[in-house]
Amino acid sequence: MGATNVDSLVGQLTLDEKILLLAGKNFWETHEIPRLGIPSLKVTDGPSGARGATFIDGTPAACFPACVSLAATFDRELARRIGTALAQETQSKGCYVLLGPTVCIHRSPLGGRNFESFSEDPLLAGVLATEYVKGLQDERVAASVKHFFANEQDTRRFVLNETISERALRCSEIYLKPFEIVVKEARPWTLMSAYPKINGSYIDATSTWLTQVLRDEWKFDGLTMSDWGAASTVACVANGHPSIVQHANMMISQRLDLEMPGPARQTASENVYKELKEGRLTEADIDARVRASLVLLERVGKFADRGPTPAERAIDRPEHRALIREAGASAIVLLKNEHEVLPIDVKQTKRIALLGPLANHASAHGGGSSFLTCHYKIDPLQAFTERFGGQVELTYSKGRCVVAPFSSPEFVADKSLGCEIYRSLPDFTAGIVNREGKQGFDVDYFPSYDATGKSLKTEQTQRSYFTTHDQIDIKTTAMSARMSALYRPTETGSHYLSLSGAGETKLLIDDHLVIKQDGSIPDAMAFIAGCQDELKAQHYFEAGKTYRIEVLTTMPSVSISDSHILDKQLCAHVGFVPQAQMEHDLQKEAVELAKEADVTLVFVGNTYQWESEGQDMNAMVLPPYETRSQDALVSAVAAVNPKTVVMINTGVPVELPWLDEVAGLLQGWYAGQEVGNALVDVLVGDVNPSGRLPMSWPRKYEHTACYGNFGLDSHYSKEVEYVEGVFVGYRHFDRHWKEEKEVLFPFGYGLSYTDFGINHFSVSGTFSKDAQTPLVEMTVTVKNLGSRAGAQVLQVFVVPPLTEGLERPVKELAGFTKIYLAPGEERQVRMEISNNAAAFWDESIRKWRVVAGSYSILCATSSHPDHVIDQSVIVIEEEFTMNA
């Protein structure tokens, strides 16, 4: 179907049908218009896997490395291949739009959703996201680049107001830049708007961003959709007429094409007709929004060979398994390798101790939109055992600290779970049976507030968890629920229980009240993401006896979310850990195993319960925050074994108080379902580590530029100021070398098992107002000097001249490339950069400006001054400006 036919279809639609197409039909689908052959379109969450329509326990899917992991590869070609594979996964769920990638900037190491995005540097984020989008759309699956824009924190994100200077917004370094790169280079078919206000206005309530910048300046020709519940006003549908811009309601007027999810709220029929009647909206505005939806249907093939929405399928492709493993290993960053403790020579090693809470847990992904049901997950212990169980003795312990019994059956204050990094206890499943005698709980929903009378619905769940969040049939009518089962323990003890619910919630055992949550949870998103805090208690059980477990919960009496789509829901969870497991002194056991091992590997980090959409982190430390028992475990083990290597699985930097005590350190990120195999591949040298840090690694959170102005700092005020301006990440730390705030590890840093020679750096060309193509060309020769194949990442930074009265970063990343070389191989590498690398946004004249003076072009292996290999100078005789 061509453009003429799309226009013809628009002309055949009634006004009511057009209004219907301004919003989704339900949580994941758009409306169909059967009489005209207009099909529905289904979308799915990403960006590290296609989850499908179900939040919890959905159709199994492949789990790919998180975007921060992909950024650490610095590998354009790999990002393209990941995009292609994700397109295939998306189609397996009957979807043709993947909600990703996320390209917002890492402003703070406390960002709960940093793992889902790429980097602190917009060039790195934009370039790799471009390849990711191209890979998706090559398969006729639309990318929805998100969240446009400045969605750097999750605390109060639905109502947050961000104060940001125009220069930081516009500047070639920071917040708009990754979106600009993707829009201009990859031409994405959709883009998702963000929740927060910027300088007092929501994104869809001003013509600046969706109209002037996105469409007029960047020539974006795709569909814009709201983040779920982010549409702020009906008027965002119009085309930005001057008369409409003066009006407070501007959603349609600022060219937001699609409100999600459905059913419509801001673009409900009565709201649209009111705007039409009062002259703030025209039918031509609505036509333009509908046309964008029809063009998207055309681009993804819904008018051709992809008409009806197929059922979701779980397709476990071998090629995807291999790609995930390759990408996960390519992203791992070797941060320390004292006395070449790595790689491990398995043939010369008799005993390896695998310790820590993530040794037998595959921390494959973060929480929130990235959560999915993986086809499978491989943890490090499983990976080592499957490959080397017959060659070397493997010993294992979580290394949990002693936990004293709670003094009261009712939880008063959060207590340490040692190196068990549960935020809420694991599901209560072992020994649990429902009314049919099958494993799991019965859940009964009632219209009453006290779980009495005739139930509206009964379901069974194998987990000790339920929510009405995505149950449209009862979400507005169920006011209470009861989750119940019979429990027959196999061991006697005062076992540990946890409880949480949306509203008042009780846990009863044989009608005896064990835990009561009196009020409502503060934020429903934490519950949906599985990262809620819970009340905890102990209860005595006798082996062989049968107990009735009952959870009663009621609809919250107050709002539990700043977003209407998360408010007003029933949900509850009960967790369980046996007393013997919880209180056993496994740290002592871990130390004993470490003493006897040739090499000790300690696996620490976060899980989706700690690092998730919907929340920012409390501190730049490994959880649990109060006890820091993971840090204590590392120190205790390192004290008895000089060959201690630590593997960290997080999406953010954390404090490393034990760094000087260990021999080796690897950053593993969230590497997807093959996380265990990827780590083992690097540890034993099957893969030479080539990952580089896509962010700076501070020594302490207090050293960051946004300290005191991020996340929980704005919880009550709902206001945050981007006080650092353009000095984000290494742009801030570059001003603090040889000071207390000097970073622990610089942006772009990473070690290898081989050495490289970098020579013959040369620069030709100049920056010029007249050129339309890259102007500066660089060549450099790279040689692998070692006996192992490996990869080097070259980074080009531009140092601008000092300009009186103007603060600029010391240097900015202008280009990068990754070179894979066999032992002894030598290759010449060519890179190009353009005027953008020298320009800054001048707020006084609202143009890009390149000042006269000397510009140093640095060839480096990280942002650290000592890692500059060579440099050249370009002199600009006369300054010039460029239009936006």
Q: Which residues are catalytic?
A: 227
Cβ neighbours of residue 318 closer than 8 Å, sequence gap 6 or more:
none
Find where tokens 């194949």 sit: 789
Is the peptide bond prior to 624 cis by the omega test (within 30 degrees of 0)? yes
| Residue of 121, 123, 98 lying closest to 47 (CA atoms) | 98
Beta strands in 471-627 (DSSP E): 480-487, 493-501, 505-509, 512-517, 535-541, 547-554, 571-577, 599-605
DSSP state of 760: E
Q: Which two tokens stand for residue 769?
A: 């107002």
Beta bridge partner(s), residue 145: 191
Distance CA 210, CA 236 (A): 10
Distance CA 353, CA 641 (A): 10
665, 684 contact by CB (below 8 A): no
Distance CA 504, CA 317 (A): 44
Distance CA 148, CA 202 (A): 11
Distance CA 194, CA 147 (A): 5
Q: Which two tokens stand for residue 222?
A: 């795709």
Q: Beta strand pairing status for 880-882 and 847-850?
A: antiparallel
Distance CA 501, CA 486 (A): 20
Distance CA 308, CA 298 (A): 14
End-to-end CA gap in the chain: 34
Ordered DSSP codes for 136-159: HHHTT-EEEEEEETT----TTTTT
Q: In what order do the strands lie in the sheet with 756-765?
A: 756-765, 776-784, 826-833
Distance CA 364, CA 830 (A): 36
DSSP state of 400: P
Greatest pairwise CA separation for the chain in angstroms: 88
Distance CA 141, CA 47 (A): 13
Beta strands in 149-242 (DSSP E): 161-163, 190-193, 197-198, 201-202, 223-226
b/e per residue, 818-827, with b = 16+ CB within 10 A? bbbbeeeeee
| Residue of 712, 720, 713, 741 lying closest to 729 (CA atoms) | 741
Phi, psi values for residue 110, rounded to 5°: -95, 0
